[in-house]
Structure 1
């Protein structure tokens, strides 16, 4: 979650960043919303870059993730969301 919040803080001029979390028995869903819908994040960085790996890490650790925008024809907000699903533990 801190990576997605940090991205919103560092890569937008949004006056507000909102974090919503939904938890149930099977999964955790995290939504990070900012007020700058025009710049949708994409994972990827040059191989030797010092930054730009955050969403690659999010992608590798979550079961799924994505972005959505709100506001109809005039978009007003963007949300980056991800889902963590509980896995059954193997008992030794």
Structure 2
């Protein structure tokens, strides 16, 4: 299941915290893999640690985004130093 940007996939009653965590998941995934590849990987990469589901399926089933991100990082061999995203001090200013 692919969730288009802006789709609210949180369980009923999830509140703002769940939404922030899901948006953080996508920020990290797109930052590490690029926007297009991140969407492709999360839709197709079956991850054993997620019960042999894709990240999209796990998120839709209510698995916490942090758990999904950690499992995806392990499956994709993302180095620990890159799992929290780019260092804000190293980001280029927009403009």
TM-score w.r.t. the length of structure 1 is 0.26
Which protein has the larger Cα radius of gyration, Structure 1 or Structure 2? 1
Higher percent of residues as strand:
1
Higher percent of residues as helix:
2
